[in-house]
Structure formats: structure tokens, C-alpha cells
A and B are shown apart, each in its own frame.
Chain A
């Protein structure tokens, strides 16, 4: 072994043991894992149900066409309007809800009734792990759903904005995020900040269309 290799070994060993590092709390992790399993099961079941209930009829109604980015997009249903603001933001409106997305983002709204509430699926905004919004061709979802049906998830910066605006509702990682269910499920739609999330998606939810509008407005402000 060369001296460099010897020093490497010593350095890595010393660094790893320098901090008072401890592993995760096993019971807490188990609770999260159980919740995630339940959540995933529900999400899968909801997804299967959605395929039958939503996708099939929607596929019959919607016209599939390409957008400017070359990504296939599903055109909005007749109840959806789309407009471009002078600043280049694309505004979608459906069921009284408005979603504005900055220029350059791919927005693919699909209006799906879920429990009588509108659901918007979008693409184009993701967040860094530190909460800063970035615009990328990745999926996020912004939707409204009935409380307690889907897991609240996280985004610190958006949360701060929403909290600052005094909104109710809840926020959390997208359904692609396997891990993080709420530590404290909130029956009153309090915002839950779940630390240590790795999600890049934002899921915003509330079961009141007015809240939904505020959420979307806040998202727009936060991502500017």
C-alpha cells in the first residue's frame, strides 16, 4: 500500500468517526415505513381506480397534440381556458381555479374530477432540496383533493410562503416520493413541514377551491 492509500484510509476513517453521528431512530423509521407502505398501497389503488374512472373517459374527450416543446400534451378540456400574459406566463383556468406558469415551462393540465374537485397536473417546476424552486422539464403535481385521502407532503420554501400568507391546506411530496408521510396528520389542513424529504415535486392540496386558488397564487409568487 502506498503512502497515499494509507493516508486515504486514515483520513476516511478519522472523518467518519469525528462527528457524533448516530443512526436514525429505529422506531420512528418503522412508523414512517409503515405509513409509506399504507400510503403507497392507497396511491396504487387510487391510480388503478383513476385509470378506469378518469383516463378512459378523458382519453375519449381530449385531443392529443404536440406542444411547442415537442412534448406530447393533452389539450385542456373544454372547461379549461389558456391565455398568455404580457410577461409570457401561461395562465390556465378551470373550475374557477387559475394556474400560472412562467415562460419556458411545460404545462400539461389535465382536469380530472376527484371527489367533485378539480385536479391539475402540471410539468415544469421542481424544487431543490433546499426548497429553491427551479424550472425543469420534470413532473410536479398541483392538485386539490379531499383531506386525509392522500398524504401531506413538503416543500419548505413554498410552505414558508403559504404559511406567511396564512393559508390552510397541506403540502407534501408527490406521489412518486416513496418515503415521507406526515409526522402529524392534520385533520384541519394545517401545513405540515416534513423534514428530510428528498422530493423534488410539490404537491399542494386543500379541499376548498378558494384555498386551491390561494395555493396556486402562492406557488406562482414563490416560484418567481
Chain B
């Protein structure tokens, strides 16, 4: 019985692991080490609950929900256990963004609070509706709209003269 379960789990990881890693990558603001940690932590939990996950209508949606919530709870745990330091450690830098990407925008997205970033990523990267995001994060739809609205307003404010005029 375990073998079948393990086989299904392995198949799921092989099929969805990369997509989850990409989602984790944008959620974490482009930190691929953190993204891999996040995906592995999540998938280890997925394995423990595989029976429940596979019984869910969409295992993909279930795991994505676990990943995002793991990301948010991770950030909460990190903020309560780490002390601020005077010297900020080196942050990952993306030297050259691919064509079509806005360096300014990505830089601002990375600076956003995790919850705002998560909502924008789910809305504009995962193409989820506000209702789907609300279900995933266990928020009210109105709360999702407020978070997204604030994030967009903040982005517009910060995005600067050069881009701002066009927007």
C-alpha cells in the first residue's frame, strides 16, 4: 500500500516540482535557495498528508495552498525568532532581467511585505481570481481586494517618474 502511495507522490513531485519551485521563487522575491527550502518543506508535509492531498479534488491546488501558507507562516516564524541586525547581509541580486521584465517593478515586488507579494503573485503569476485567492489564503474576498489594491497603489506610488507617467 505504501509503495503505491510513494509512487503517486514521486509522480506528483516529478510533474509539479518545477512549477512549485518557480512559484516559490517569485514568492520569496527571487531567492532560489529559500525557494528550494520552501518547496522541500512543503512537499515533506505533503507526503505526510498524501492520503488527504490525493483525495482532494485538485492535488495541485491543495499543494499550492500548502506552499503559500507555508511561505507566509515561515515568514511569521522567522520574524518572531530572528533579531534585527545593524548590517544587512547580502541579498540576492538579479543582474539582468529577461526581456519584458521591469527591473524597477521586480525590485519593488521583492521589497513588499510577504502577504502583499503573495496576493500579487497569486493574482498575476498564478492567474487566480480574488475568490480563489481568498479560499487559498482563508481570507475574505474583500480582504484580498484590499490587500491587492494597497499593493498596487503602493507600486504606482513608488514606481517612479519614468514608468509612473505611462501608468
Q: Which residues of A contact B (CB under 8 A)?
A: 2-5, 7-19, 21-24, 26-27, 29-30, 32-34, 36-37, 126, 128-130, 134-136, 138, 178-179, 196, 198, 200
- Please determine whether B124 and A29 come into contact, CB atoms closer than 8 angstroms: no
Please, how many residues of chain B have a CB less than 8 angstroms from a CB on the other chain?
59
Enumerate 21 A-B pairs (CB-CB under 8 Å) in ascending A order: A8-B120, A9-B124, A10-B100, A10-B101, A11-B97, A11-B102, A11-B105, A16-B25, A17-B22, A21-B32, A22-B17, A23-B18, A29-B13, A29-B43, A30-B10, A33-B43, A136-B81, A136-B83, A178-B45, A178-B48, A200-B77
A196 to B41, CA, bound (A): 9
Q: In the docked arrangement, what's the CA distance between A8 and B117, Å?
A: 11
Those of B23-59 within 8 Å (CB) of chain A: 23, 25-26, 30, 32-37, 39-41, 43-45, 47-48
B-side contacts of A34, CB under 8 Å:
6
Known: A18-B98, A21-B25. A198 touches B41 (CB 8 A): yes
Q: When A and B form their complex, which 6 residue pairs have the shortest distance between CB atoms, in order from nearest?
A: A23-B17, A33-B47, A14-B101, A26-B13, A12-B125, A23-B18
B109 within 8 A of A: yes
Please tell me if the beta carbons of A14 and B44 are within 8 angstroms of each other in the complex: no
Does more than half of chain A's interface fall in helix, strand or loop, or is it mixed?
A: helix
The smallest beta-carbon distance between B7 and chain A, in angstroms, is: 9
Chain A min CB distance to B58 (Å): 18
Residues in B whose Cβ lies below 8 Å from that of A7: 102, 105, 163, 167
What distance in Å separates the Cβ of B66 from its nearest Cβ neighbour in chain A? 13
Contact B101 A21 (CB under 8 A): no
Would you call B82 and A18 a contact (CB within 8 A)? no
Is B16 close to A, CB under 8 A? yes
Q: Which residue on chain A has the smallest CB distance to residue B20?
A: A23
Task: List residues of chain A with CB within 8 A of the CB of B45.
Answer: 178
Q: Are B167 and A179 in contact (CB under 8 A)?
A: no
